[in-house]
Structure 1
Amino acid sequence: MRVAKRFLFIALLCLAATVSATSVVPKPLAEMVREADHVVVATITRVDMVDGKGRLLADPESRTGPGSANQMRLHLEVHEVIATRLPPVSRTIRVPLWMMWHYELGTMQKHLTGQRGIFLLTGRDYQPVYPANFQRSLDERAEIQRLLEH
């Protein structure tokens, strides 16, 4: 009996660790396109991070994630608006990323700056339509446009 209780306790700990991990369930592209207020082709021109009081952080080792008030932001230059349901999209927009992701400023700047893609956004403040996979490959354009027509 003692072994069974110990096994159950360990299993519950593993389940709790899995549930609290920073991840999101994948969301189908069709659902994200349906929920998007803005679908734009853009280039990430800059990546920055602010602390919980909105102060810009310059240290490339600054991090985001659970327990941190820091937030990573993508600065986009919009080349084309494929679709929008709200007032016109600005030529440059700032997209705040989900604060629970484990990101490091310098790494994200290095890997994301200059990337071009299709961005699925929502609201007047250009939030990601979903924390994951809201930046799509240009190769998916035909599929995204097809989904927008339905």
Structure 2
Amino acid sequence: MRVAKRFLFIALLCLAATVSATSVVPKPLAEMVREADHVVVATITRVDMVDGKGRLLTDPESRTGPGLANQMRLHLEVHEVIATRLPPVSRTIRVPLWMMWHYELGTMQKHLTGQRGIFLLTGRDYQPVYPANFQRSLDERAEIQRLLEH
């Protein structure tokens, strides 16, 4: 019985390590807006994935996550620049997603393509301002603009 309990304990520790490796602490909207170089209204026109050598992956079952070198990317059509510190913002931009998320290409293409929202980005290469919740609802526009003014 003792061996079984020890095994279960070790298994739970391993599971906990996996969960913590693929989650991030929520960051307040005010902090993300303050750190963003670009705040844009855009539509996701395409979702793709590249491997560690930059080669395009087309298998809808291709995955990202810990131990994999694949990276999911969002292709955005920018409709409006609400704010930017690094002009100009291109009409079309590519946003690389955090590689530790457990994503499957086909699922993400199905659920994200066509979504319109407010994107909080940083740098000249349009990185997400934070791995989680950098895509915001259009309903949050007034709050985001209020935060930009302060």
Given the two structures, how large is their TM-score scaled by the length of structure 2? 0.91
> C-alpha root-mean-square deviation of aligned residues, in Å?
2.5
Residue 5 to residue 96, structure 1, CA distance change in 2 (3 Å): same
Matched pairs, number:
150
> How far apart are 1:5 and its partner, in Å?
10
* 2:146 matches 1:142: no
Residue 18 to residue 60, structure 1, CA distance change in 2 (3 Å): closer
> How far apart are 1:23 and its partner, in Å?
0.3
What SS does structure 1 have at the residue aligned with 2:53?
coil
> How far apart are 1:87 and its partner, in Å?
2.1
**Map of 1:124-139 to 2, 5 A cutoff?**
124-139=124-139
> How far apart are 1:53 and its partner, in Å?
0.3
Residue 67 to residue 6, structure 1, CA distance change in 2 (3 Å): closer
Structure 1 runs not aligned, ≥5 long? none
What SS does structure 1 have at the residue aligned with 2:130?
coil
What SS does structure 2 have at the residue aligned with 1:3?
helix
Residue 134 to residue 90, structure 1, CA distance change in 2 (3 Å): same
Q: Distance in 1 between matches of 2:143 and 2:149?
A: 10
Q: Distance in 2 between matches of 1:49 and 1:11?
A: 32
State whether residues 21 and 100 of structure 2, in contact with CA within 8 Å, keep that contact through their aligned partners in structure 1: no
- Structure 1 runs of 4+ aligned residues shifted over 2 Å read 1-21
Return 20-29 or 59-68, whichever deviates more.
20-29
> How far apart are 1:20 and its partner, in Å?
3.7
Residue 62 to residue 137, structure 1, CA distance change in 2 (3 Å): same
Q: Percent identity, please.
A: 99
Structure 2 runs not aligned, ≥5 long? none
> How far apart are 1:17 and its partner, in Å?
2.4
Residue 147 to residue 111, structure 1, CA distance change in 2 (3 Å): same
Q: Distance in 1 between matches of 2:37 and 2:121?
A: 6
What SS does structure 2 have at the residue aligned with 1:117?
strand
Matched residue, 1:113: 113
1:59-93 Cα distance to aligned partner (Å, 9 max, x none)? 00000000000000000000000000002100000
Residue 111 to residue 67, structure 1, CA distance change in 2 (3 Å): same
Given the two structures, how large is their TM-score scaled by the length of structure 1? 0.91
> How far apart are 1:21 and its partner, in Å?
3.5
State whether residues 41 and 82 of structure 2, in contact with CA within 8 Å, keep that contact through their aligned partners in structure 1: yes
